[in-house]
Structure 1
Amino acid sequence: MSQHFVFHDVRTTDLDASRRFYTELFGWGVTETPAGPMLGEGDAVWGGFTPLPEGDSRPPQWIPYVPVDDVDAAAERAVGLGGRIVKPRVDLPPGSVVVVAEPGGATLALWQAAAGHGRALN
């Protein structure tokens, strides 16, 4: 398994305000993509924005993505170590993701890149 994050997703109830906050505070660039605004510029995106629908019980938060070789095996191992599945596997064009919570409740995304996409999300 990897020892570093390859992507970060901010889940927010106010996408416009969050976008303005991070771009003005840190000068981070934003690239418009079919999947929505991404942090970073051009091919060097490293994060994204996920709007939380009204009434969603999940708190706004940052979710780091950790690359794994087999997302299903990693999710099973996480559960075996006392974690839980927060969001089951989703398959996207660049790869597959499962969001898990560790025993203390912090969440992270397990990321398996699709063939030809390397280990990064973009």
Structure 2
Amino acid sequence: MSQKFVFHDVRTADLSASRRFYAELFGWAITETPAGPMLGGADGVWGGFTPLAEGDPRRPQWIPYVPVADVDSSARHAVELGARIVKPRTDLPPGSVVVVEEPGGATLALWQPADRK
């Protein structure tokens, strides 16, 4: 597994307020995409926003994405090490993700980029 984060997702209960906050505080560009608003501009996106639905019990938070070679085996290994699966594997056009909560309570996403053969 890699030690670097390749993407960051901010889970928010108020999308408009979060967008405004990050744009005004840091001057971060926000790009509209088919998948929703993303952080970043013409040089590429590096983060995104996930709105929490009303009544969603999960807390607003940042979730870093860590690249892995095999998301399924990495998720199994994480569970063996005491993690809990928060969101099972989701396959998206750019890759597959499993969200886990590590034994200390922090959440991160295991990210396997799609094969670009």
After superposition, where does 1:40-119 map in structure 2 within 5 Å? Answer: 40-116=40-116
Q: Distance in 2 between matches of 1:94 and 1:43?
A: 17
Q: Distance in 2 between matches of 1:42 and 1:70?
A: 30
Aligned alpha-carbon RMSD (Å): 1.0
Q: Distance in 2 between matches of 1:53 and 1:42?
A: 29
Q: Distance in 2 between matches of 1:42 and 1:13?
A: 27
Q: Match of 1:78, SS?
A: helix
Q: Distance in 2 between matches of 1:88 and 1:42?
A: 31
What's the TM-score, normalizing by structure 1?
Answer: 0.94
Provide the identity percentage.
Answer: 79
How far 1:91 sits from its partner (Å)? 0.2
What's the TM-score, normalizing by structure 2?
Answer: 0.98
Q: Deviations over 1:36-84 (max 9, x none)?
A: 0000002510000000000000000000000000000000000000001
Amino acid across the alignment from 1:79: V
Q: Which has the higher strand share?
A: 2
Which stretches of structure 1, 4 residues or more, deviate above 2 A after TM superposition?
none
Unaligned runs of 5+ in 2: none
Q: Match of 1:116, SS?
A: coil
